[in-house]
């Protein structure tokens, strides 16, 4: 039921060394893949790069062919108002429902601000947010 709100995020394992991100970004450019949002989480000596792109399958195929360790992770993309309190309204809802956020990053789209959420029970989180009238984005709605 909430399948359409499951956004396929690319999660990439990358060693922390100069040029690594540049190589990945170049590959996306060559495939004509647009990156909407991304974040890098830093481990010790390695990082996990998370990216939302317009053509995840194409990007996945290209990265795999380069020998890059990549997998899909389902996330939610939540629209929020670009004003003080915008984020609070979204996360308060989840806090009240006892839903823990594993990680999150945000970007400011052309139309609205978007917060990307990785939660354990993605369907319950989607249901909770929709019930409270929060708008979730499908991948086709990214700008």
Partner 1 sequence: MAYLDEHMETISREELEELQYKLLRSQVTRLYSSSPFYHARMREAKVHPDDIRSLQDIVKLPFVHKKDLRDNYPEGMLSVPRREVIRYHASSGTTGKPTVVCYTRKDIDTWTESLARGLTSIGLGPDDVIQVSNTYGLFSGGLGFHYAAERIGAAVVPASTGNTERQIELILDLGVTAMAATPSYMLHLGEVAEKMGVSIKKDTKLKVGLLGGEPWSIKMRDRIDEWLGIKGINCYGSSEMYGPMFTECSEQDGIHIWGDIAYAEILDQETGGPVAPGEKGELVLTMLQKEALPMIRYRVGDVTEMVDEPCACGRTHPKIRRIFGRVDDMLIIRGINVFPSQVEHALMGIPEVGEHFQIVVDRKGALDTMLVRVELKKEAFTDNIVQLMDLRERIAYRLRGILNIKAAVELVEPDNLQRFEGKAKRVIDRRDI
- Given the rule CB under 8 A, which residues bind partner 1? 9, 11, 13-15, 41, 43-46, 48, 50, 67-69, 71, 73, 102-103, 118
53 or 93: whose CB is closer to partner 1?
53
Minimum CB–partner distance for residue 115 and partner 1 (Å): 17
Minimum CB–partner distance for residue 64 and partner 1 (Å): 9
68 or 115: whose CB is closer to partner 1?
68
Secondary structure in 3-state letters for the chain = CCHHHCEEEEEEEEECCCCHHHHHHHHHHHCCCCEEEEEEEECCCEEEEEEEECCHHHHHHHHHHCCCEEEEEEEEEEEECCCCCHHHHHHHHHHHCCCCEEEEEEEECCCCEEEEEEECCHHHHHHHHHHCCCCECCHHHCC
Q: Would you say how long the chain is, in residues?
A: 143
93 or 125: whose CB is closer to partner 1?
125
73 or 141: whose CB is closer to partner 1?
73
Minimum CB–partner distance for residue 102 and partner 1 (Å): 7
Minimum CB–partner distance for residue 91 and partner 1 (Å): 20
Please count the other Cβ atoms lying within 10 Å of the Cβ belonging to residue 75.
24
């Amino acid at each position: 039921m909430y399948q359409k709100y499951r956004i396929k995020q690319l999660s990439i394992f990358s060693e922390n060394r100069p040029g690594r991100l540049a190589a990945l970004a170049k590959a996306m450019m060559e495939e004509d893949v647009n990156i909407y949002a991304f974040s890098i989480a830093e481990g010790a000596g390695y990082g996990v790069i998370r990216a939302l792109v317009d053509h995840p399958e194409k990007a996945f195929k290209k990265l795999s062919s380069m020998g890059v360790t990549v997998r899909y992770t389902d996330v939610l993309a939540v629209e929020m108002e670009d004003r003080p309190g915008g984020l609070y309204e979204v996360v308060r809802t989840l806090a009240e429902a006892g839903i823990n956020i594993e990680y999150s990053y945000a970007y400011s789209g052309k139309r609205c601000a978007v917060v990307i959420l990785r939660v354990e029970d993605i369907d319950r989180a989607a249901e909770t947010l929709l019930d409270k009238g929060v708008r979730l984005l499908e991948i086709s709605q990214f700008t």
